[in-house]
Structure 1
């Protein structure tokens, strides 16, 4: 077993590989052990250029090496001091909750049950097949015996050409009763209608916005039923 003393700043570099995070001050010397002879990924031997080491019972391996070997690129966001693994936000896209805020919400039910939410990079929510997102819009209707709807609108001001998202029930509503419909409006004119039932797979949506001034998402249920919530996952606009 090889033992070596290394600086704390070097240990930080090994954790990320070429992503490069270093401790600039208050450095100290650590006693580490180079006792990892092999790493197998899907039964194939692979070793990073920067050798793994053990410190205080924990083995440290370059994060970039492991992530990329598993098919998930890693990126260091220096502006936000954040490590991104896998899919990241598109630099050319505009996101509700980061770049756009809503302009209007209305519903036929009580405000506490017929609700909306949108988020970017904060809370995480799952769709009906267990995929997690921290970029989404949700609309809900409460449990009721009659017709219900919820409407959420965003201003576009003629600046956007395309909207993309994945439409699905949320984890909370994956076993809901009765069908719901999502109606999409551009400047209060109906553009598309999507029917959603329990057991439906998520569907990718791409809408042309035609220089519209606003877009509206209206969740409608005609025949009543249990609480229902749909999500527009990875929702983004393009100019």
Structure 2
């Protein structure tokens, strides 16, 4: 299986006629603009001793001792395809993954007959952001309130990972932190979020595991757009 490289993107605006540009970086907490100066030089590229020449206007540059080059040019020079996901601002080199919403994966066991992740809804987290296809623990959700819960799923090599965001839900978890998420692969703990006090990305690899168990403990927790990775 090919290794998958995921690179969170930067939105770059070059200033024509100069070596100064502004880029926008995105973190879980905030976004910021920063203007930097770079050195733009003629750079020669060789792949397995064969020279590769980028298209016009795709020159690399040097910043703080690190050389930055066009990722599509490098990837295609290595014989790898490149896929851009504008929704998640992600670049995939090689095979792109498939994301299966958690609601579409039937659990082999759960805390109740319906499954804790069977009925997603729109929720609002403590920052005021709204998310669809998400779950709120410790508050009203669908037909009632969900507190602690466990869901176990068969993987059998079909799924290689799990991805979601965790965040305190509005009001109920924003002051003291929210509940936590634990993920087990073949009964081995592979992820423990601890008390969630801010929006946090979760990306767990469990390639090769035969089963996966998700455990939610405590209230005030939002599980945002969760999905298995195939």
Please classify the TM superposition score into its range, dividing by the shorter chain length: 0.3 to 0.5
Larger radius of gyration: 1
The TM-score with structure 2 as length reference comes to: 0.46
Q: Whose helix proportion is higher, 1 or 2?
A: 1
